[in-house]
Copies of this chain bind each other. A is one copy, B any other.
Amino acid sequence: MDTSNLSMQLNFIKEIDKLKYIERKTKLFHSERRENDAEHSWHLAMMTLVLAEHSDKPVNVLKVLKMVLIHDIVEIDAGDTFIYDTLKSHTNTQQELQAAKRIFGLLPEKQAKEFIAIWEEFEEGLTDEAKFARSMDRFEPLLQNVSNSGGTWKEFEVDYQKVYDKKKAIKNGSSSIWAYAESLLEDSVEKGILTKRPDLPK
């Protein structure tokens, strides 16, 4: 047994417990309680298992699972960034990269490199696996907000166009899930839980 490997791995396993304290803005289904990152990551993993057949391209499910399980671990250091926050950038900030290096760096070197590479692949969103993983990440809060009569859209006054612009990334992973998501957005406008901004006067 390589006990030094095990010891490093256990340090990592203890460290990532902190993900359970990172609170997201989005609330659980039909709920007033905000979701934490560990719960969110578990739910995305379950969605991946169940919905992978809807990916436009065949995907390596194990790789997508790795992505969704680890994608938010950097938030232990960098904190959660609300997707409609207009001040903070969401992609590959320097702070997140430093966090990835510190936290995944607790692992034995080979594993650390693998996890950092998977996290970067997810962030870049270019491969079929990353596209599908990112579509899951965008789809879950949409379902939650619909179940919560608008949820964070209402709470933070986010209008239809802003939501649409963020959610259309779902299309990169699955055109059928995107078709469903689009219909949910239209329904939400009809129900008055998502607002289309009127045209500005000329």
A residues adjacent to B (C-beta < 8 A): 1, 3, 5-6, 9-10, 12-14, 16-17, 19-20, 28-29, 35-36, 38-39, 41-43, 45-47, 49-51, 53-54, 61-62, 65-66, 69-70, 107, 111, 143, 147, 176-177, 179-180
> Would you call B65 and A43 a contact (CB within 8 A)?
no
Q: Known contacts A1-B176, A111-B50: does B6 contact A20 (CB below 8 Å)?
A: no
Please name 18 further chain A to chain B contacts, defined as beta carbons within 8 Å, in addition to the given A49-B66, A62-B65, sorted by A numbering: A1-B179, A3-B176, A6-B51, A6-B177, A6-B180, A14-B29, A17-B28, A17-B29, A19-B42, A20-B35, A36-B39, A38-B39, A39-B39, A41-B42, A42-B42, A46-B69, A50-B111, A62-B62
Across the interface, which residues of B come within 8 angstroms of A12, CB to CB? 50
**Is B62 touching A143 in the complex (CB atoms < 8 A)?**
no
Q: Known interface pairs A38-B43, A46-B69, A179-B1. Does A54 touch B6 (Cβ–Cβ under 8 Å)?
A: yes
Given A20-B39, A42-B41, A176-B1: A69 in contact with B49 (beta carbons within 8 A): yes
Asked, given contacts A38-B43, A42-B38, A42-B45, whether A176 binds B6 with beta carbons under 8 Å apart, the answer is yes
Residues A69 and B54 in contact, CB atoms below 8 Å apart = no
